[in-house]
Amino acid sequence: MTVATLPVLEAMSLGAAVIPSNTTFIPEFVGEAGILVDPTHDEQIASAMDEFAGDEERLTAFRLTAMQQAARFSWKQAAKQTLELYNSGFFARGEKLQ
pLDDT tens across 52-98, in order? 898 899 999 999 999 999 999 888 888 888 888 888 876 665 555 55
pLDDT recorded at residue 77: 84
Q: Domains (ranges, CATH) in the chain?
A: 3-87 (3.40.50.2000)
Separation of alpha carbons 13 and 34, rounded Å: 12
- Give the mean model confidence (pLDDT) for residues 29-54: 94
pLDDT tens across 9-30, in order? 999 999 999 999 998 889 999 9
